[in-house]
Chains A and B, each alone.
Chain A
Amino acid sequence: MNHWIIAPVILPALLAPLIGYVMRHDMPLSRVFSMAGTVALVAIALGLFGIAADGTTHVYRLGDWPAPFGIVLVLDRLSALMVLLTSVLALIVLMHAIATGWDARGRHFHALFQFQLMGICGAFLTGDIFNLFVFFEVLLIASYGLMIHAGGRARMRAGLQYVVINLAGSTLFLFALGTLYAGTGTLNIADLAVRLAEIPESESAIVRVAAMLLMIVFAVKAALFPVQFWLPGTYANAPAPVAALFAIMTKVGAYAIIRVHTIVFGPDIAATEGMSGLWLFPAAIVTIAVGAFGVLGARRLMPLIAFSVLGSMGTLMIAVSAFTPEATTAALYYLVHSTFAAAALFLMADLVITRREDDVLSGMPPTVQNGLFAALFFAAAIGMAGMPPLSGFLGKLLVLDALRAPGEIGWAWTAVLAGSLLTIVGFARAGSTLFWKSTAVAIPEPGPEEVPAPEEGPHEKTPSIAHHAPVTAMEAAPSMAALAALAALAALAGPAASYFEATSAQLFDRSSYVDSVLTEDPAALLEAVKADDGHGSEEGGSDGDGEPTGDGEYGVDDHGEPVGDAATEEGH
């Protein structure tokens, strides 16, 4: 058993309290440790990526308990990919936060950041559905802290809304888990898959409700229509580096749908057959539309980017909703792409906004390095909107190519293409207002698309001259690194696509997942435990009902489930 599998969870979990409690008054030291931890996380993730690349599914049994009874971590190509993506994104975001000084604008940034990484990695690695809930909560509560980092009026309001929506979502998650446990009696994902396959269609109502509830829960995280409304407000008001990190948070929802609704409620399971895609597909189409019109209507830069993220989630989920290996390959490619594209946009926007009064899209005196910012902005926008030569184009092409089923081709193609067009228009208009109009007018004049600036934007007004200084190499490097990731994804499209193909092939090979996790038959394990009563010293005695038994101490009734007996005994 490879102990490195749990390292992406334990490393930040041990580092965060150290940073939070020992070094909380020492910013340079926190920065060094946080940075070192994130670099180490990237190295570990690369190592795990290498381990998983050969296609075997590695299982880590926590507490050394056999599979369905204890909690297991599962490392396959998909989880290794997601952990690697998380760690690389985290490194980029952390560099930006340190270089721009965002981390010093409130308390405990680095501790919360590390806890956030722990939660995300834990969610990607776990093979137990209740444990998935626990790590969702870890990553959510850390995100609440990061969301309201540095405070401010608009951010506190948006933060309250974000917390309330996610608490309601968590409650729904628990309802879903209760239903699932009532219907199947297990929590391990592989064991769930086995038991669901055994449920006859005539008795499938309870697990179908569970599948539906879980879908809604994950859809909240992935910001799918009609539960997408939290995303624009949250992303637009979060501190920019945090918004960039949140690019992976929506992907946690997407990952959970891919994982759970492929392996547990897969397309070929009689009890829930075909149900997942049926709901997901129209929701994804509407999400694209909401995102695209949001981009077109946005009057400020941060909401504009937030809506474009929403649109990209729609495109991603359209591909997921097909639940075929080809479409999942495309979805994975687009997932990696859209994570970096969103991060690049948010980080870049942060550089621009701190050099302007606020993020309202209106003409303004040119800032320093206008040309550089314009170039960066358009590069990131091209990536997000899906134009060549960056990876967004290839991503959308793959998605369209995979959706050729008669029922979906018309809707999907129209939505993706029209959505892309609107997004391009929105970005082009915003970019020209921001960078070219600004060079033309010296004083902002009230034009038709001019809107009165809100009294207080989500960003701190930092009128100090220091913020009008040109960007340093350290400040620009993270945004450029995110863009470079997009370029690399495009340049290495061949190898990447074949890796994603292998990943989705492994994902759809459900029986190999189940066999790797459940190495021994659960029923046989249970029998073995009952047969082996190690302590023979205190034999005899009687239980509450006065039945003499000789089965050794602390025995459990061998006949049937304890629960069933409980009920019948009480009935007498």
Chain B
Amino acid sequence: MELLVATAIGALTAGGVYLILRLRAFPVIIGLALLSYAVNVFIFSSGRLAINLPPILAKYGDASYTDPLPQALVLTAIVISFGMTAVLVMVALGSYLETGTDEVDIHPAGHDASNEDAAQ
């Protein structure tokens, strides 16, 4: 099971990184979504894997549970990345509507002219 989880994290990370490097708004959004899946599973796995031991206290007696803390951290991370994704989508949309291209330019100011034609 551990091997499966690890390879899944790896695949999601690799896919996410590749898509982000496309430097176009939509692949970047999708890539960041993949990366956030990857990191959520990654943090979750830092509590080690356990099957059928949800951290919901049993009514009676001693029982063992999986580590609840990484789960709480992942929940916080999911919510935050949801808010971030929403803002990113809107900023990307705004940037596309303003400039007419959905490129994510990582070069500092001054390269605007090259994309003017695509805009119209």
A residues sitting closer than 8 Å to B (CB atoms) are 130, 134, 137, 141, 144-145, 148, 151-154, 156-161, 163-165, 167-168, 170-171, 174-175, 177-179, 181-182, 187, 229-230, 232-233, 236-237, 300, 303, 454-456, 458, 538, 540-544, 547-549, 551, 553-558, 562-563, 565-567, 569-570
- What are the residues of chain A within 8 A of B6 when measuring CB–CB? none
Task: Pick the contact of B91: A148, A181, A540 (CB < 8 A).
Answer: A148
Residues on A with beta carbons closer than 8 Å to the beta carbon of B43: 174, 177-178, 181
Most buried by B among A158, A159, A160, A543: A160
A residues in contact with B60, CB < 8 Å: 538, 540-543, 549, 553
Chain A residue, CB-CB nearest to B20 = A168
Residue on A with the closest CB to B94?
A: A156
B95 touches A567 (CB 8 A): no
Q: How far is the CA of A568 from the CA of B4 in the complex (A)?
A: 19
* Cα separation A509 to B118 with both chains bound (whole Å): 58
Interface string of B1-40 (1 = CB under 8 A from A): 0000000000000000000100001001000100110010
Contacts A/B (CB < 8 Å), 19 sampled = A144-B91, A154-B109, A160-B92, A164-B20, A171-B32, A178-B39, A178-B46, A181-B43, A181-B70, A303-B108, A458-B109, A541-B60, A544-B63, A551-B62, A562-B66, A566-B64, A566-B65, A567-B48, A567-B49
Q: Which A-chain residue is minimally distant from B28 (CB atoms)?
A: A164
B108/A236 in contact, CB under 8 A: yes
Q: Which chain A residue shows the least CB distance to B57?
A: A554
Chain B interface (Cβ < 8 Å from any Cβ of A): 20, 25, 28, 32, 35-36, 39, 42-43, 45-53, 57-67, 69-70, 73, 76-77, 80-81, 83-84, 87-88, 91-92, 94-95, 98-99, 104-110, 112-113, 116
CA distance A553 to B69 in the complex (A): 21
Tell which of B57, B58, B106 touches A544, judged by Cβ atoms closer than 8 Å: B58
Whether the pair A563, B67 counts as a contact (CB closer than 8 A) is yes
- Which residue of the partner chain A has the closest CB to B42? A178
Known: A174-B39, A178-B39. A454 touches B87 (CB 8 A): no
A542 and B60 alpha carbons, distance in the complex (Å): 6
Across-interface contacts of B66 in A (CB, < 8 A): 562-563, 566
Knowing A167-B32, A236-B109, the reply to whether A179 touches B46 (Cβ < 8 A) is yes
User: Could you tell me if B80 and A134 are in contact, using CB atoms closer than 8 angstroms?
Assistant: yes
Given A154-B109, A232-B109, do A163 and B91 touch, yes or no (CB 8 Å)?
Answer: yes
**B104 in complex: contacting residue of A160, A187, A232, CB < 8 Å:** A160
* B99 lies within 8 A of A156 (CB): yes
Given contacts A156-B94, A161-B104, contact A567 B62 (CB under 8 A): no
Q: Given contacts A130-B73, A163-B88, A174-B39, is CB(A152)–CB(B20) below 8 Å?
A: no
Q: How far is the CA of A143 from the CA of B58 in the complex (A)?
A: 44
Residues on B with C-beta less than 8 A from A555 are 61-63
Kindly state the separation between the CA atoms of A148 and B92 in the bound complex, as whole angstroms: 12
Instruction: Tell me whether A454 and B113 are in contact (CB under 8 A).
Output: yes
* A541 and B109 contacting across the interface, CB-CB below 8 Å: no
CA–CA, A551 and B60, complex, Å? 9
Smallest beta-carbon distance A534→chain B, Å: 14
CB distance from B96 to the nearest CB of A (A): 9
**Chain B residues, CB < 8 A from A178:** 39, 42-43, 45-46, 70
| Cα–Cα distance between A158 and B49 once the two chains are bound (Å) | 42
4 extra A-B contacts, CB within 8 A, seeds A157-B95, A554-B57: A160-B25, A171-B39, A182-B45, A547-B62
